[in-house]
Every structure is written in C-alpha cells, then in structure tokens.
C-alpha cells in the first residue's frame, strides 16, 4: 500500500511539473476562480511539504492544477507558494519556489 501511495504521489508530481514546464507567462483580464478545497493524502515522508493546487489558464479555459507533496531540495528550504498577481494589464501567475 505504501509503495502504491508513493508511486501515485510521484506520478502526480511529474504530471504537474510537466504542465508547469511548458507554461508561458499569460496575462488574463479576469480574476481566477476561487481556490478549491483539496483533501491531502498522507505525506510520503515527514520531510515532504504540501504544494497547494492552483488555477491555470489554458486554451482560454481555467484548469485546476492539483496540489501535491514535494521534498525540499535542501535542508531548511521553505516553499513560497505561487499566486496570481494583479497588474495594470491584468492577472499574471507567479510560480511558487523554494527559498
């Protein structure tokens, strides 16, 4: 069971990473929908940190990118969550990052 959970967590991380890797900055004129409430599965290890899901704009539609567990790249790294930033031109997604 533990192996299955780890595999599913890894698969989710890879799919999210592939989606985020091909995203380019896009300015949207409407505010994104309200965040979804997500059910967190058990963390793969005590080191893992929950990365919140978020709305992404793709092909003119809002798609939900689900949250996932991720291991920090180094000791004492802290996750700064991504967010939609309002600018004069509209809203722009600012990716989360480890600091």
**Predicted structure pTM score:** 0.68
Closest of 75, 72, 52 to residue 64, by C-alpha: 52
DSSP class of residue 85? E
Long-range pairs of 63-66 with CB within 8 A, sequence gap ≥ 24? 64/36, 65/16, 65/19, 65/20, 66/12, 66/16, 66/38
- pLDDT digits (tens), the chain, 99 positions: 554 544 444 444 444 444 444 445 778 988 889 999 999 999 999 999 999 999 998 888 999 999 999 999 999 999 999 999 999 999 999 999 999
Sketch the domain layout of the chain as residue ranges.
2-30+44-98
Q: Please tell me the distance from the alpha carbon of residue 61 to that of residue 45, in angstroms, as a whole number.
A: 35
């Amino acid at each position: 069971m533990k192996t299955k959970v780890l595999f599913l967590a890894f698969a989710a991380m890879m799919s999210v990473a592939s989606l985020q890797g091909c995203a380019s900055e896009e300015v949207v004129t409407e505010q994104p929908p309200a965040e979804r409430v997500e059910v967190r599965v058990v963390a793969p290890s005590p080191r893992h940190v929950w990365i919140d899901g978020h709305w992404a704009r793709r092909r003119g539609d809002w798609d939900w990118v689900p949250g996932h567990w991720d291991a920090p790249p180094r000791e004492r790294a802290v996750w700064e969550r991504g967010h939609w930033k309002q600018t004069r031109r509209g809203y722009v997604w600012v990716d989360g990052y480890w600091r």
